[in-house]
């Protein structure tokens, strides 16, 4: 391995339904088409050296997915970004690329995510009432079916911030009886914990404490992930590489 490059990419539109496994296959094909000098593992069945960090659930859009490539030759990050972006389908978009120079891996720099949750058909006031009930509860137990069976866990403790960002108008694709087609929008910051608390778990918690049930499927987008500061900001994990002095690289 000669060089490591860290990449931020997005899943948009219909491509949000791409599973992590399908994306990994598509990305490996893009690497081949773009002629990226990827390094491979040793052994009888070599694999390209690609490390993924905290992939978003299937069906969720994201502006902040991350991976790291190990390369056999040096590349210019922006040229690599453009080549990979051109080799992927529209909706799988490579947004940023930096040379990995700072110590530590991507997972070490990610302890929280910020999400935008659109609730079609939910009036703003109803969403505020539910959020207030969520804040007031010391613990909110929800169930989720996992590979290990059904688990019950607290959806409240991992939430660093939840608030109503304001109403918005949505299209006419809502079911009949969906009110005035308002769409309350939640701004949500969730810390990484074990077991992981996902946006759908928080929505389950809102249903538990306030019986909030949108008349149409919520639309969820991850806006950022990284290190959560005391001020509530999330620091992009690629900033540590951009901020390393040239003499230390």
**222/144 Cα distance (integer angstroms):** 20
Same fold, 3-100 and 109-228: yes
- Per domain, the residue ranges of the chain are 3-100, 109-228
Q: Which CATH architecture is the domain 3-100 placed in?
A: 2-Layer Sandwich (3.30)
Residue 133, preceding bond cis, omega within 30 degrees? no
24-38 tens-digit pLDDT: 999 999 999 999 999
Contact at 8 Å (CB) between 16 and 85? Answer: no
Query: What is the per-residue pLDDT for 169?
Result: 46
| CATH fold label, 109-228 | Alpha-Beta Plaits (3.30.70)
Query: What is the per-residue pLDDT for 247?
Result: 40
Bigger pLDDT: 52 or 171?
A: 52
Bigger pLDDT: 181 or 234?
A: 234
197-214 tens-digit pLDDT: 999 999 999 999 999 999
Q: CA-CA distances (angstroms) from residue 15 to 68, 145, 174, 217?
A: 21, 24, 21, 17
What global pTM score does this model have? 0.88
- Average pLDDT along the chain: 90
């Amino acid at each position: 391995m000669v060089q490591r490059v860290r990449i931020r990419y997005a899943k948009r539109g219909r491509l949000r339904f791409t599973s992590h496994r399908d994306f990994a296959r598509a990305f490996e094909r893009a690497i081949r088409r773009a002629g990226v000098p990827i390094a491979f593992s040793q052994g009888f069945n070599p694999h390209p050296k690609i490390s993924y960090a905290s992939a978003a659930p299937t069906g969720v859009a994201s502006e902040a997915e991350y991976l790291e490539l190990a390369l056999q030759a040096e590349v210019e990050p922006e040229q690599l970004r453009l080549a990979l972006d051109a080799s992927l389908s529209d909706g799988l978009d490579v947004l940023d690329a930096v040379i990995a120079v700072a110590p530590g891996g991507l997972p070490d720099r990610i302890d929280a995510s910020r999400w935008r949750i659109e609730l079609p058909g939910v009036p703003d006031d109803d969403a505020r009432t539910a959020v207030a009930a969520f804040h007031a509860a010391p613990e909110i137990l929800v169930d989720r079916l996992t590979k290990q069976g059904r688990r019950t866990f607290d959806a409240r403790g991992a939430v660093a911030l939840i608030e109503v960002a304001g109403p918005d108008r949505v299209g006419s694709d809502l079911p009949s009886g969906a009110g005035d087609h308002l769409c309350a929008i939640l701004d949500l910051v969730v810390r990484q914990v074990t077991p992981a608390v996902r946006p759908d778990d928080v929505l389950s918690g809102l249903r538990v404490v306030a019986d909030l049930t949108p008349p149409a499927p919520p639309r969820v987008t991850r806006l950022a992930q990284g290190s959560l500061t005391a001020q509530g900001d999330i620091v992009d994990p690629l900033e540590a590489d951009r901020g390393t002095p040239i003499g230390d690289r």
